[in-house]
């Protein structure tokens, strides 16, 4: 396991690469106000058999930033540039929330770079007014006042009570996010409308959502699934927005089963 800082699309992105170099690669893209540690449970599980690549989004974690606003197109080009810098031609793309929004555009623009696509706890379009309010609060007060409401959306009450250390780690991710990075990425979410993009996605796609996700609820996941031909939907019980953390075992099992189906399908096509 090693952290690297790579020049990508006019900034510097921190990434972490784990697992066998000869294996198929999985790229994990995190949510707003997080960093690559959001995927700790997945990295530990999948690095046994895959080359796991995680990165900090522009303006998050230890990655560099530029002045807001950002666009989803900018964040998509960050990913493409990072893969080029790492010399990785194709990946299984797994994105949650903001990462899933990036994944939607990436799949439509660069289908040849993807082996598969997993869109997790995400949406194709969101409420503009909500994001205007969050941007204004971040600009005026920083992220301190946003931390508690974010934690309440990320995890169910039961998980927050029973897993205080992991929840505190998530809180620290939020507080460590730069104001510029938060406002920049929030602007990309505010301005997003991927509803016409979804029908252009031909990559094999899995959609995952927590049953109790209030930020991007199962109804949003159903819309995405209905627009992407051949996609499948998995609802994770007893999970809110960060279903990959709250129900890591169920999340990992669903993702692994999907990835194995893609491998089997590829072998059949070449036999």
Q: For residues 236-246, b (16+ Cβ closer than 10 Å) or e, as one string?
A: beebbbbbbbb
Residue reference for tokens 């900090």: 56
Which residues does 38 contact at the CB level (< 8 Å), separation at least 6?
Answer: 30, 31, 96, 170, 173, 242, 244, 245
**Cβ atoms within 10 Å of 263's Cβ, excluding its own:** 13
pLDDT tens column, 242-253: 999 999 999 999
Contact by Cβ (8 Å): 239, 247: yes
Residue 270, class by beta-carbon neighbours within 10 Å (0-12 exposed, 13-18 middle, 19+ buried)? exposed
Residue 162, class by beta-carbon neighbours within 10 Å (0-12 exposed, 13-18 middle, 19+ buried)? exposed
Is 21's pLDDT higher than 80?
Answer: yes
Half-sphere exposure of 48 (CA within 13 A, CB side): 7
Q: Specify the higher pLDDT residue, 263 or 206.
A: 206
pTM: 0.97
Residue 205, class by beta-carbon neighbours within 10 Å (0-12 exposed, 13-18 middle, 19+ buried)? buried
Structure tokens at 248: 């890591």
What proportion of the chain, given as a percentage, has pLDDT over 70? 97
Question: Can you say whether the dihedral through the CA atoms of 191, 192, 196, 202 is positive or negative?
Answer: positive
Mean confidence (pLDDT) of the chain: 96
pLDDT tens column, 228-267: 999 999 999 999 999 999 999 999 999 999 999 998 776 6
User: Mind listing the domains of the chain with CATH numbers?
Assistant: 2-269 (3.40.50.1820)
């Amino acid at each position: 396991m090693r952290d690297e800082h790579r020049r990508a699309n006019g900034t510097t992105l921190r990434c972490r690469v784990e697992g066998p170099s000869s294996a198929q690669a999985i790229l994990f893209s995190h949510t707003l106000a997080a960093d690559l540690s959001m995927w700790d449970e997945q990295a530990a599980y999948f690095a046994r058999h895959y080359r796991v690549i995680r990165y900090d989004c522009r303006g998050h974690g230890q990655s560099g930033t530029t002045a807001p606003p950002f666009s989803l197109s900018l964040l998509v080009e960050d990913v493409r540039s990072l893969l080029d810098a790492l010399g990785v031609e194709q990946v299984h793309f797994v994105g949650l929330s903001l990462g899933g929004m990036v994944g939607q555009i990436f799949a439509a623009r660069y289908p040849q770079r993807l082996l598969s696509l997993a869109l997790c706890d995400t949406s194709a379009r969101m409420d503009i007014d909500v994001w205007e309010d969050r941007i204004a609060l971040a600009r005026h007060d920083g992220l301190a006042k946003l931390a508690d409401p974010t934690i309440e959306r990320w995890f169910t009450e039961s998980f927050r009570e029973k897993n205080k250390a992991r929840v505190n780690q998530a809180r620290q991710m939020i507080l460590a996010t730069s104001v510029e990075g938060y406002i920049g990425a929030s602007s990309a979410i505010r301005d997003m409308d991927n509803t016409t993009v979804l029908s252009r996605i031909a990559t094999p796609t899995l959609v995952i959502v927590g049953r109790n996700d209030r930020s991007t609820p199962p109804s949003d996941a159903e819309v995405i699934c209905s627009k992407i031909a051949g996609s499948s939907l998995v609802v994770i019980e007893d999970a809110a927005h960060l279903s990959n953390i709250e129900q890591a075992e169920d999340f990992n099992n669903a993702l692994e089963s999907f990835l194995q189906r893609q491998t089997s399908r590829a072998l059949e096509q070449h036999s």
